[in-house]
Structure 1
Amino acid sequence: MSISPARTPAGAPAATAARPAIGWRPKFLLLALVWGTSFVFIGVAAQALDPIQITLGRMLTGLLPLAGVLLLRGGRLPREPRIWLHLSVTSFFLNVVPFTLFGHAGQLIPSALSGICNAATPLFALVFSLVLLTDERPTRARLTGLLLGFVGVLVVFGVWTGFAGAGSTGMLLAVAAALCYGIGTPYLRRFVAGSGHTPLELSTAQLLAGSVQIAVAAALFTDAPGAVPLPVIGSVVALGALGTGLAYVLQYAIVREAGATVAATVTYLVPVVAIAAGVLLLGEDLAWNQPVGALVIIAGAALAQYRPRRARR
């Protein structure tokens, strides 16, 4: 669910100026809704399927709409082995591992809490961007935002109560998934950006590479599921077709029409939607510190991503 700078199409500023500003707002809200409710679908699917099976179903059903759009637009997949190697690594960190970790977390903690832990993604992305990208520099605002964000993570965990129990394990798994997003995003920007392929072509190839990886893992480590309830099947299809396939298409449109900076702010709405969806749709209960910690994380992420107007230009 992470927005990568590598997916920004060439010439995005010019496209932004050429399109009416009102056009991207419904897509922005729809993307926040799709990604925020994904954690509900993960929680439902985790009731009957192994996390690896959830990931496999999600990636295959996410690949289909992207491949369809790519075919309609006359795009092509990369042919260079080097690009496929880097996309395989990217898919490992942005799809295969985090999807599976969120599946495990969905068996242990409420879906809303998974969404809250996912809010730490921009913080981890910034940490690894400072390590992997030469054009990223630490500033006082960024370091303060990182510190504030990780204080928010500790508040979500309720560190004053200890770390024992399934809930803490589930939160650690969810935070580890956010950590993977944080690694994959700057990796994608450094090693795949500028390859000459469009974001749609690269993301379709990324899901294809990840689908192969998770299919091998499913064959080796899981057994074929028995009778799967219809709500579980629907949740997996929604995760892939909406939370992965449609979400990528919406993301491209927002980046093209409003710019990458605006598109990245959808991260701040996702935990809010996840909390509302978990409480309203699944009747989940949250301790007071969890939504409070989410607000602290969002504030820290916003501060860490802030750049003065002169720097943005």
Structure 2
Amino acid sequence: MERALELANRSSSQGFVLLGFSANQGIRDVLFLVFLSLYLLVLLENALVVYLVFSHRELRKPMYFFLGNLSCLETCYVSVTMPTLLRGLRSSPCHVSFTACIAQLFFFVSFISTKCSLLATMAYDRYVAICHPLHYPLLMRPQVCRGLALSSWLGGLLVSALKTTCIANLSYCGPNVLNHFFCDVSPLLNLSCTHVALVDLVDFISALAVLWGSLLVAIASYVAIGRTVICMPSAAAGRKALSTCASHLVVMGCFYSVVLFTYSRPGHVKATDLYKALSVIYTAVTPACSPVVYCLRNHAVRTALQETLNPHRVSQEMPPPTASLKLKGEIYGI
């Protein structure tokens, strides 16, 4: 017992060393510029989406409310990992304290769990809009939307608190070197010198519950949407309904395919260069692509963006009432 406390105290005082990406200084400088540009792009894109959603009356719909939450979330969780990555590229290896490492782990797990819930909620929103369009204003009224969003954020905090507490109470023998560019679950478990079977089990069950639970909700929603589209009398109506889901399907497919491969297995897995490369995809690349995918495929968002960039031109090109009614139908997914 005394030995375990000594090791824990030593871990807390020494902190951890993040190896990051092993390369010569020239390559690291190039990577630094690439990731810095990507980070700034993510901040700019998602801030623009949040501004458009909350400043334009025509975007004050459930679909865009959840999109605004998703953009806020991606701004937060990319800010948890990217500064450490950039710091490691400038001064490799990167030293972090035990407290800072655990705090980074807590916020990262919380945000990624919240993103899973929000993606599932957005799939459910599309299900209600397409399969039950007449009941959509009631089923997705503002109080329900706020409750769904709040439960996603609070659920992420709860899952993260459970996992982080278990990992923070482990003892680390050293050398406290993490083969990663931020403090993630598997690299930390690999350094523990105490029995981690229980922690592995908690990590595995929570990953299955969050990842697979949200994925099953999304899959069930889109299966129901597919059945409804098949039964539609008009092929044009079916294509219009599916077009409102295309952006979400692309973002969700890219995110889940990488995250499930990384986390839906026992946590005591060696971190490799492939592991780090996949982590870059869902921590940096996906947040940069999501706003572009949503904006390019959504007429209402494109119109709001054009109005923001060039308000005088848009005011001269206001659509006739029939076009406005058509746009309202597209917003509800019918």
Question: TM-score when scaled to structure 2?
Answer: 0.30
Q: Which has the higher contact order (CA 8 A, sep 6+)?
A: 1
Higher gyration radius (CA): 2
Question: TM-score when scaled to structure 1?
Answer: 0.32
